[in-house]
Structure 1
Amino acid sequence: MNAALFPDLVVNGERVPHALVAAETQNQTAPAGKPGIAWRKAANAVTIRTLLLQEARLCRIEAEPLEFGPGRFETQEEALIRGLLDQAINVVPPTEADITSEWLKDPTRFRSPPLWEVSHILCACDPRNEADRAKVQIRAQGLLALVLSDPKSLPAIATRESDCGSRSSGGALGQLGPNDTLPEFEAALRQLAEGEISPEPVLTRHGYHIIRMDAVALGQVLPFEAVRDRIAEAMEKTSWARRSRAFIAQLVEAADIQGADLNRV
């Protein structure tokens, strides 16, 4: 193993097994052919987890794993870290004045869910297969060019070319709301005005989509009373995240770390 590319990780004198860092690389993104970047990201993540566990042991934290889903429990390490952060981080709930001030910044941010009426053409592929993805992307771009040249042709092209069952209805998906479709698809919907077509094919796990926004019903602006609790919860979460970052930064500052650089990707 290349020691310069994959150095040993030692945190406050505790040597971390290479296997732990290697396992964590699966959760990190990096350009193809650059394993060193994924390793550095993984080493940083494992370093922070190790520091938190060391602090939990030092503080004699005791915490039982919680169930976060049917038959799904925290690991003992996750429970210890949660217990440590619960003890170390104290978030003061925002005052009514703070909540009102946040709402007044832009009341139009708080709306009932929108509804989108959508049509699409699907060019199916497995995104994990690079050769298949590249070939299907070319096909999708060709179909998109046809649709952009004549937007009214989308139903006919969808009926003839789409790999989705909606081809039987000219690509019409009907009305969709938030969380009704895949995140990438929804993100594209949020960028389209009524009558617009996605400027590029949109990739999801199903393949490439050419999307047309047929109609938009924007959600109504909600009164303060309806969103007060939501704003308070968001403010508390933001405060907790800020304080937790500061707590971790203190641990990093005081630590002796070899094999990771938390100031670098």
Structure 2
Amino acid sequence: MKQTFTNISVNGEPISPELIATEAQNHPAPKGKPGMAWMAAARALAVRTMILQEAQRRGIVAAPMELAPGLWETEDEAVIRQILDEAVEAEPPTQQEVRAAYESNPERHRAPALYEAAHILFAARPDDVVARKVAKDQANAVLAKIKLEPKAFDALARDHSACSSRANGGRLGQISAGDTVAEFEAALDMLAQGEIAPEPVESRYGFHIIRLDARADGEILPFEAVETALRSALEKAAWVRASRAFVDKLAEQAEVTGITLKKAA
């Protein structure tokens, strides 16, 4: 598909189609719509160009920082960081704003739920299609036996599970969010206490037959316990808004051809 964004410039500085095509690889787009990735890349490069031009106007000299041992910022990355540090000023949230953010939705600040669960794992590598098919078939066969005789779960776990928990009848003990993979946790959230998942649950490790033995929902944490994290989140959000305002102002003053950056009136 031939792209049409071939004459893009910012204040007279052209952005080549080749550069846009390279940048487009970093911008996912729906299948069959590469033009969306191209447009996103063109916008990103235009904004980058505007910021670098403004940094040059202000006389900012690159002072790269070491990001990790032996890994340094490029000069452009350093300049962009420096000008944003200089030009973007975000109002810190007040104590009242932090408190209001907490009280607007206390449910967001629950402690992780705790589960007592058991599983039978039929292991297969993610890239082994044949092994995964076999594992799924085995899981379905064993699950059919469990549905007929739920009390057989422990014995079947000892006979079939590829997890070390088989020695305990598949019991994992007490677990919480982050202790297992996302697919496993999602399945637990769908189950009532004492219930067995109606279908094998697929994860990167293979297929699991899952039983939820008990669940304790986390308590809502008091304001004092989340205040620091909530304040940090509000500060980051304020900085993002301020940085967008800075870029919008540059766009209003810039002469951009081939692409639209200015807000619609």
Matched position secondary structure for 1:229: helix
Q: Is the 8 A contact 1:114 1:178 kept in 2?
A: yes
Q: Which amino acid aligns with 1:233?
A: S
Which structure 2 residues correspond to residues 116-127 of structure 1 after superposition, within 5 A? 116-120=115-119, 121-126=121-126
Q: Which residue of 2 aligns with 1:221?
A: 220
Kindly state the Cα deviation for residue 151 of structure 1 after the two structures are TM-superposed.
9.3
Paired with 2:262 and 2:30, the residues of 1 have a C-alpha distance of 19
Tell me the secondary structure at the aligned position of residue 54 of structure 1. Answer: helix
**Of 203-212 and 52-61, the range deviating more from structure 2:** 203-212
Tell me the distance in 1 between the aligned counterparts of 2:69 and 2:99: 38
In 1, the alpha carbon distance for the partners of 2:37 and 2:130 equals 25
Distance in 1 (alpha carbons) for counterparts of 2:262 and 2:160 = 49
Paired with 1:184 and 1:119, the residues of 2 have a C-alpha distance of 15
User: 1:1-265 to 2 correspondence within 5 Å?
Assistant: 2-4=1-3, 7-8=5-6, 10-12=8-10, 13-16=13-16, 18=18, 21-22=21-22, 25=25, 27-31=26-30, 35-120=34-119, 121-126=121-126, 135=133, 139=137, 142=140, 146=144, 149=147, 152=150, 159=158, 162=161, 164-182=163-181, 185-186=184-185, 194-195=193-194, 204-207=203-206, 211-253=210-252, 254-258=254-258
Distance 1:97 1:150 in 2: 58
Q: Find the residue that maps to 1:219 and give its secondary structure.
A: coil
Using the TM superposition, give the Cα deviation of residue 61 of structure 1 relative to its aligned residue in structure 2, in angstroms: 2.7
Change in CA separation of 1:95 and 1:257 when aligned onto 2, cut-off 3 Å? same
Deviation at 1:195, TM superposition (A): 4.6
Structure 1, residues 186-232: CA drift from partner, whole Å, max 9, x if none?
A: 56656666455667766654455555444333333332222222221
TM-score by length of 1: 0.69
Equivalent position SS for 1:83? helix
The answer to which of 245-254 and 155-164 deviates more is: 155-164
Report Cα offsets for 1:76-128 as digits up to 9, x if no partner. 3222222222222211111122122222223343234443334443553336x
Preserved CA contact (<8 Å) 2:29 2:37: yes
CA RMSD in angstroms comes to: 4.3
Q: Aligned partners of 1:9 and 1:157: how far apart in 2?
A: 67
Displacement of 1:239: 1.2
Cα distance in structure 1, aligned partners of 2:40 and 2:131: 27
Is the 1:107–1:221 contact (alpha carbons within 8 Å) kept by the matching residues of 2?
yes
| CA deviation vs aligned residue, 1:137-182 (integer Å, no higher than 9, x gap) | 9649946974995694665565555555545544444333344344
Uncovered stretches (5+) of structure 1, i.e. residues with no partner: none
CA distance in 2, matches of 1:170, 1:213: 13
Q: What is the rounded CA distance, in whole Å, between the counterparts of 1:235 and 1:210 in structure 2?
A: 41
- Calculate percent identity across the aligned residue pairs: 40
After superposing the two structures, state which structure 1 stretch, 85-94 or 141-150, moved more. Answer: 141-150
- The total of aligned residue pairs comes to 258
Q: Counterpart of 1:48 in 2: which secondary structure? A: helix
Amino acid at match of 1:49: R
Whether contact under 8 Å (1:53, 1:77) holds in the other structure is yes
Distance in 1 (CA, whole Å) between partners of 2:74 and 2:87 is 20
CA distance in 2, matches of 1:200, 1:158: 16
Query: How far is the alpha carbon of 1:63 from its aligned partner?
Result: 4.5
Looking at structure 1, the residues matched to 201 and 260 of structure 2 have their Cα atoms a distance apart, in angstroms, of: 37
Mark the CA change 1:192 to 1:221 in structure 2 (over 3 Å): closer, same or farther: same
Change (3 A) 1:138 1:112: closer
Q: Does the 8 Å CA contact 1:122/1:208 hold for their aligned counterparts? A: yes
